[in-house]
Amino acid sequence: MAVTTVVGSFFAALGQVGDPRFRRVLFKGIGLTFALLVAAYAGFLILLNWLGAAMWVQELLGNISWVGDLFTWTSFFLMVALSVFLMVPVASAITSMFLDEVAEAVEERHYPHIPKVPPVPFAEGLKDTVNFLGVLIFANIVALIVYALFPPFALFIFWGMNGFLLGREYFTLAAMRHLGRDGAKQLRKKHGGTIWLAGTLMAMPLSIPLINLVIPILGAATFTHLYHRLEPR
pLDDT tens-digit map of 189-229:
999 999 999 999 999 998 888 888 899 999 999 999 999 99
- pLDDT tens for residues 2-56? 889 999 999 999 999 888 888 888 888 888 888 888 888 777 777 666 655 545 5
| Residue burial 133-166, b: 16+ Cβ < 10 Å; e: rest | beebeeebeeeeeeeeeeeeeeeeebbebbbbbb
Report CA-CA distances (Å) from 73 to 44, 61, 77, 78, 211: 17, 10, 6, 9, 19
**Quick check: 68 and 38 in contact, CB under 8 A?**
no
Query: What is d(CA 49, CA 71) in angstroms, rounded to the nearest whole number?
Result: 18
pLDDT tens for residues 165-191?
999 999 999 999 999 889 999 999 999
Give per-residue pLDDT as tens, 50-70: 655 545 555 555 554 444 455
Q: What pLDDT, on the 0 to 100 scale, is given for residue 69?
A: 55
- In tens, the pLDDT along 81-113 reads 777 788 888 888 887 778 888 999 999 999 998
Q: Does residue 203 contact residue 159 with C-beta atoms inside 8 Å?
A: yes
CB proximity list for 81: less than 8 A, separation 6 or greater? 209
What does the mean pLDDT of the chain come to? 84
Orientation angle between helical segments 54-61 and 73-110, nearest 10 degrees? 90
CA–CA separation, 94 and 78 (whole Å): 22
What pLDDT was estimated at residue 231?
A: 83
pLDDT of residue 75: 66
- Per residue in 111-163, pLDDT (tens digit) is 998 888 887 777 777 788 788 888 988 998 889 899 889 999 999 999 999 99
